[in-house]
A and B are shown apart, each in its own frame.
Chain A
């Protein structure tokens, strides 16, 4: 589903490699954590996957297709296959929960008849159906992140990328988010989560890729942590 071959990324104004000859292969339906210190290159990796950035060298495959030399015109289609959530939610403050989620459907010109149904579906999945008329600033951090998740999922992406989705949340809310991610994965979506929360990583017992200074220092298979103990 996601494959990186010898991917190196160097920022123009930066001599060091944000990513240094990285090889990663994530299969369809996997749930993967990416961990590493600040500056390890985790967000850079995500930006390469949605083609917000271009790798300095190496090749990236998403959903079986090489995206390294993807034409600009084709980028939207790539992004429809990938849902993204961030630590800071990035909801639109001037519209309510329903409109925030429907916005993602309108942006890809989904037929109006389907928008209602799809939005209702993800609202239920994220457990925020009762709050559909609330505005973002009327919601708790955990609820806002659930809305962001619902928005990332409403276009039915094959891959979900979450960059520190629980970074701003307390353990209770973090757990709720993780439960939703697990359910999303169970329904067939490939899920990749960047996190600093070691407690969650240990608890979830999934594959963990560890980055350090742009290098993959270890890649522990599902159940690996449990067996290590």
Chain B
């Protein structure tokens, strides 16, 4: 197709949309709903994965020792634990480190208060190992094994909500997938209807084009352009909405939830939309293309 023909067909695609407003709006609305659902689902899945991964990284078991355990025994314990398959690495916190950390947290504003303890570390028996796992699901098993070892006074586990979270995610994901498939089918149906109406309105033009020897491709392409344009508009609108929704979600999380869990935050905007924008545009254009191909192949024959 030559350049001028391309622009002619593209222009004709826009003309078609102008003539056919009601169907155009209905198609755009369903595609928008479909793309919105896809976008929402993607944003949620990306964030759930993110949270699980964060949780995975921060899940650890803290191990404290019996007061009489010697430095050498502690070192020996550390070596043995590190060798376990389920353990990714182990960090040692000496009583001095523990005290420093404690001071940072609780005497931040009145460091002179802490000075009273300078030569008498109240956490002298608080040496600990922080055990990081290769997978959070091992937590229970590893904790039990640690408790059974001699020389260990206390084992602290993190609260694990990640697995529950991913189960919920699965159900929500399947439900939204079903909705998306339905919306996808409705979008394609509506777009092919829109295009079919356009074809009917322009039957006379199509007939003349065929008599003068226009190729199938030339006759069909304005309608395919029309479908793709509708699809892209249907994709851009929910992207804009999702942008604002996601931005306020991030702000909400920052303002409301940081008091409960400072670790929890949403994925940054960039990370989500980097993937979401191309997916939405391809989806919209794809729906438009398929819908219009169905209509043109059915109703335009040489």
Taking CB atoms, residues of chain A closer than 8 Å to B211 are 50, 79, 84
Taking CB atoms, residues of chain B closer than 8 Å to A77 are 213
- B214 A76 Cβ-Cβ under 8 A: yes
Knowing A72-B302, A75-B302 are in contact, say whether A107-B204 is a contact too (CB < 8 A). Answer: no
Other 14 A-B pairs with CB < 8 A, given A72-B216, A78-B213, A79-B213: A72-B302, A76-B210, A76-B213, A79-B212, A84-B211, A103-B212, A104-B208, A107-B209, A107-B214, A108-B212, A109-B5, A111-B2, A111-B4, A112-B4
Distance A39 CA – B220 CA, assembled complex (angstroms): 34
Total interface residues on A, CB under 8 Å, equals: 25
- A103 B208 Cβ-Cβ under 8 A: yes
Knowing A92-B204, A92-B208 are in contact, say whether A76-B216 is a contact too (CB < 8 A). Answer: yes
Which 10 pairs of residues, A with B, have the shortest CB-CB distance?
A80-B213, A79-B213, A107-B214, A104-B212, A109-B5, A76-B213, A107-B209, A76-B215, A75-B302, A107-B212
Q: Please tell me if A90 contacts chain B, counting CB pairs below 8 Å.
A: yes
B167 to chain A, nearest CB (A): 55
B17 to chain A, nearest CB (A): 16
Give a binary string over A40-55; 1 marks a CB under 8 Å from any B CB, 0 the rest. 0000000000100000
A99 to chain B, nearest CB (A): 11
Q: Please tell me if B135 contacts chain A, counting CB pairs below 8 Å.
A: no
Total interface residues on B, CB under 8 Å, equals: 20
Interface residues of A in 76-130 (CB under 8 A from B): 76-81, 83-84, 90, 92, 103-104, 106-109, 111-112
Give a binary string over A124-157; 1 marks a CB under 8 Å from any B CB, 0 the rest. 0000000000000000000000000001100100
- Contact surface of A with B, Cβ cutoff 8 Å: 50, 72-73, 75-81, 83-84, 90, 92, 103-104, 106-109, 111-112, 151-152, 155
- Residue pairs across A and B with Cβ atoms less than 8 A apart, 25 shown, are A72-B302, A73-B216, A75-B302, A78-B213, A79-B210, A79-B211, A80-B213, A90-B204, A90-B207, A92-B204, A92-B205, A92-B208, A103-B212, A106-B5, A106-B8, A107-B212, A108-B212, A108-B214, A109-B1, A109-B4, A109-B5, A111-B4, A112-B4, A151-B212, A152-B212
Taking CB atoms, residues of chain A closer than 8 Å to B204 are 90, 92
- Contact surface of B with A, Cβ cutoff 8 Å: 1-2, 4-5, 8, 204-205, 207-216, 218-219, 302
Distance A107 CA – B209 CA, assembled complex (angstroms): 6
Taking CB atoms, residues of chain A closer than 8 Å to B1 are 109
Tell me what chain A mostly uses at the interface: helix, strand, loop, or mixed: helix
Taking CB atoms, residues of chain A closer than 8 Å to B213 are 76-81, 107-108, 155
Taking CB atoms, residues of chain B closer than 8 Å to A151 are 208, 212
Distance A122 CA – B210 CA, assembled complex (angstroms): 20
B212 to chain A, nearest CB (A): 4
Q: Which among B8, B213, B216 has the highest number of chain A CB atoms within 10 Å?
A: B213
Distance A83 CA – B213 CA, assembled complex (angstroms): 9
B33 to chain A, nearest CB (A): 34
Distance A72 CA – B210 CA, assembled complex (angstroms): 12
Distance A112 CA – B8 CA, assembled complex (angstroms): 11
Taking CB atoms, residues of chain B closer than 8 Å to A152 are 212
Query: Nearest CB to that of B12 among chain A residues?
Result: A106
Taking CB atoms, residues of chain B closer than 8 Å to A92 are 204-205, 208
Distance A13 CA – B180 CA, assembled complex (angstroms): 45
B206 to chain A, nearest CB (A): 10
Query: Nearest CB to that of A73 among chain B residues?
Result: B216
Knowing A76-B213, A78-B213 are in contact, say whether A109-B218 is a contact too (CB < 8 A). Answer: yes
Distance A50 CA – B208 CA, assembled complex (angstroms): 13
Distance A90 CA – B210 CA, assembled complex (angstroms): 13
Query: Nearest CB to that of B202 among chain A residues?
Result: A92
- B212 A155 Cβ-Cβ under 8 A: yes
Query: Nearest CB to that of B302 among chain A residues?
Result: A75
Query: Nearest CB to that of A115 among chain B residues?
Result: B4
